[in-house]
Chain A
Amino acid sequence: MIRRANGVAWLSLLSALGCTRPAEERTLKDLQVGHAQSAALEVQVASGLAAVRDLTHERLALWLSAPSADISLVVHEAVQLELRVENTMASAELSDLDSGQTLPVSSGAASTKKTWELALTAGARHLRLSAPGAAGNGHFRFALMSDVQEAIDRVQDVYRVINAQADLDFLLGAGDLTEEGEVDELQRFQQELATLAVPYYTTLGNHELGERPPAYQQWFGRANFQFAHRGVYFTLLDSASATIDPLALEWLDGWLANARDSVHVIAMHIPPLDPVGTRNAAFASRAEAAALLAKLAEGGVDLTLYGHIHSHYSFQNAGIPAVISGGGGATPERAGDVGRHFVVFDVDATRGIVGSEVVRVDDSER
């Protein structure tokens, strides 16, 4: 009996020490993002592309993870609802898909934070939040910035330079917004974003995992998701635990199929392979990394974007152009020649990744 108890104790200890699916809990939580209900209202954001930050009888607050989102409402009783949406494109409009009308914005017409006053009668309503032209094909620019962490006090330097960029549709993030992922850090990060002229669509990094369970998804939405913008697909994956959960890999199969004939950009925090292998700031398993890269190559992915390493690397993995950009301000890689920076990409739905430019923040300030 004692031997059996010892065996159970050892197994429990080993289970606590090692786990094969550390991202499983977060991946399952992705399925709940974008859904909420109250006595008067039920809300469902298609594909979980927004976090429901608040839902009361009078107010629905969303944090968008994508330029466009379809919002389904089931209204149980007539209600006057204030719809607050943060992290929208400045030109975003709200359309009533049932009537085909564009709904007038109450405040924040040219900002990333908008409010609509909606008089809702009982029944189902279908809304679409989208920027004009977002559904069509065309040329646009986006930027990549990751790894702010402890440098949150200086992040406004970066945002000023980003705001000075012309024709930028949005900023993409590959994680490590905070140092520990604590609620006050996530709140601070969102507050700092108020000055950014474009929305910030991001997944999480390992530095968002300091809290158990991580609070990230309540603030910024899904860790694994896909959106399309102007004919280009963006898939963000949760590699914060140096692995991708098998359930997310199942979703990835579908997302790769969606984007099979389109330009497809994949972003995640920890890269599958570190260009400096002896450092291994990469997946825990080289085999899992290679299997993922083979899957991405087979899926015709056009660009892979990573964070985690606080420098800038441009290379190829499985023949796919790859960029590591961890220039948000966290302790830079001293031997690298790039400090704080972000990368701007020119994209065209028919021509692919047209170009990219590393914008050095500290150099720009000099």
Chain B
Amino acid sequence: MPASGAEPASHTDAPLHTETELAASSVANPTPASPAKPLTRDRRVAAGVAVVPGLALHGSGHYALGHKKTALALLIGEGVGLALVLGGYGTLRATGNSRYLAGPAVAATVFGAGLVLASFGADLYGTLSTDGGAVDLISRAPPRLESELGYRYVADPHFSYGHFVVERVTLRQGYFRLEPSAWFATNSSNVQYRVEAAYRFIGLAPGQIGSRDDHVELVLGGLHQRYLPEHFQRSGLEVALDTRFDLSHLGATLRGSFVDLALGYGVAKLTYDLQGLNVPADTDDLLLAKLGLGVALRGRAARGSEARVYYDHRHDDYAAGFLTPGRISGVFGKFGADLRWFFTPRLGVLVDARVGSTWLGGLSLLLREGTVAAPKAWP
């Protein structure tokens, strides 16, 4: 373990590639300039250190590799996360879940816990990843158009539905995004329509060149859910700030990893359709908070491929909030993981898994256009 001195040079520390290099490599799948190297003994030891004592002191793995600045950044991330958790949870306890402070306190707790998990995960990723440099060759700009057609299974003992067809289209024009989507139950009349309109303040627009995927988007959303057999419908509006922070800002070893953060507020009208009864509607509001840790996939995967684990606080979708057999149920949202794997620049799949008060899982086919210069033939 280096005791002092400059950050060690490694293949993952290579400078970010130039825009010319990126543009040149952007037509086909990128071939890593620095292909993955076998995991050396140093890295195996560092990965072990990232776990013990890294579970308590995040960044230990990077410290063992000699990446002290990155180690310090991860340790600070852990500290800030713990402070947010303690502050948020402490506020909830001290104020008896005050109606005025519960929302911000829950948000602080969620983000705090997310930061703690993210700093640990990033430390492990940075010590184990040997081909971070390959990410530099992947253009991270979003496509102009992406469409999704897929299947989801929802295991919810409270509802008769189970099988869904999922459709989504994402259209981007410059920094604007429009994203209508729908879920149709095949064994019930249940349906969910959703539309998002977003403006990207920071980040790449389609066609732009860049190897980092930082972005900040303001998202306005509309949601309509029809539960006809259960005699209610729910229609809502929401506003959220959706961000992605590329962890390469913290150090070259973290290239290819990112943290997703979203925070927002939603309000909904709950209408009851009961024959012969005039039941007044209820108004319902909810905190929107999402935190994820992901990695951009490279190697055999085409650009745009990524894997992510996340926590999503919303309670109004099919997976809803987390249930436990113990004392704490209802407060937490769901946990999820998704994998976007593109076989070619145009064609890919999405694997989606979520655990809330239900189990949700499924697979979608993804088609996209406008990421890069299109090949002459359809893949």
**What CA separation (Å) do A284 and B356 show in the bound complex?**
8
Q: 1/0 per residue A187-206: CB within 8 Å of B?
A: 00000000000000000001
Interface of B is mostly: loop
Q: Contact check, A287 vs B102: say whether CB atoms are below 8 A apart.
A: no
Q: Contact check, A212 vs B326: say whether CB atoms are below 8 A apart.
A: yes
Would you call B274 an interface residue if the criterion is a C-beta within 8 Å of the partner chain's C-beta atoms?
yes
Select B316's contact among A243, A287, A311, beta carbons within 8 Å: A287
> Please, which residue of chain B has its CB at the minimum distance from the CB of A21?
B157
Q: Contact check, B234 vs A212: say whether CB atoms are below 8 A apart.
A: no
**What CA separation (Å) do A335 and B159 show in the bound complex?**
37
The stretch of B122-130, B171-179, B195-203, B224-232 that contacts the partner chain = B224-232
Would you call A278 an interface residue if the criterion is a C-beta within 8 Å of the partner chain's C-beta atoms?
yes
Would you call B162 an interface residue if the criterion is a C-beta within 8 Å of the partner chain's C-beta atoms?
no
19 other contacts beyond A209-B325, A331-B96, with CB at 8 A cut-off?
A14-B355, A25-B325, A206-B327, A212-B325, A276-B99, A276-B285, A277-B286, A283-B330, A284-B329, A285-B156, A285-B358, A286-B268, A286-B316, A287-B316, A290-B282, A294-B231, A319-B272, A333-B95, A336-B99
Q: Contact check, B158 vs A279: say whether CB atoms are below 8 A apart.
A: no
**What CA separation (Å) do A316 and B234 show in the bound complex?**
17
Specify which chain B residues have a CB less than 8 angstroms from the CB of A14 in the assembled complex.
355
Specify which chain A residues have a CB less than 8 angstroms from the CB of B132 in the assembled complex.
none
Q: 1/0 per residue B80-103: CB within 8 Å of A?
A: 000000000000011111111111
Q: Which 4 A-B pairs have the closest CB atoms?
A: A242-B330, A278-B103, A284-B321, A285-B320
Q: Contact check, B96 vs A333: say whether CB atoms are below 8 A apart.
A: yes
Smallest Cβ distance from B351 to chain A, in angstroms?
Answer: 14
Given contacts A293-B272, A309-B97, A287 and B359 within 8 Å (CB-CB): no
Specify which chain A residues have a CB less than 8 angstroms from the CB of B327 in the assembled complex.
180, 206-207, 209-210
Specify which chain B residues have a CB less than 8 angstroms from the CB of A284 in the assembled complex.
315, 320-323, 329-330, 332, 356-357
Q: Contact check, A319 vs B280: say whether CB atoms are below 8 A apart.
A: yes
Would you call A291 an interface residue if the criterion is a C-beta within 8 Å of the partner chain's C-beta atoms?
yes
Interface of A is mostly: loop
Residues 328-365 of A contacting B (Cβ, < 8 Å): 330-336
Q: Contact check, B284 vs A318: say whether CB atoms are below 8 A apart.
A: no
How many residues belonging to A are interface residues under a CB distance threshold of 8 Å? 56
Specify which chain B residues have a CB less than 8 angstroms from the CB of A333 in the assembled complex.
95-99
Specify which chain B residues have a CB less than 8 angstroms from the CB of A278 in the assembled complex.
102-103, 106, 265, 285-287
Would you call A281 an interface residue if the criterion is a C-beta within 8 Å of the partner chain's C-beta atoms?
yes
Would you call A39 an interface residue if the criterion is a C-beta within 8 Å of the partner chain's C-beta atoms?
no
Smallest Cβ distance from B262 to chain A, in angstroms?
Answer: 15
Q: Contact check, A282 vs B274: say whether CB atoms are below 8 A apart.
A: no
Smallest Cβ distance from A41 to chain B, in angstroms?
Answer: 34
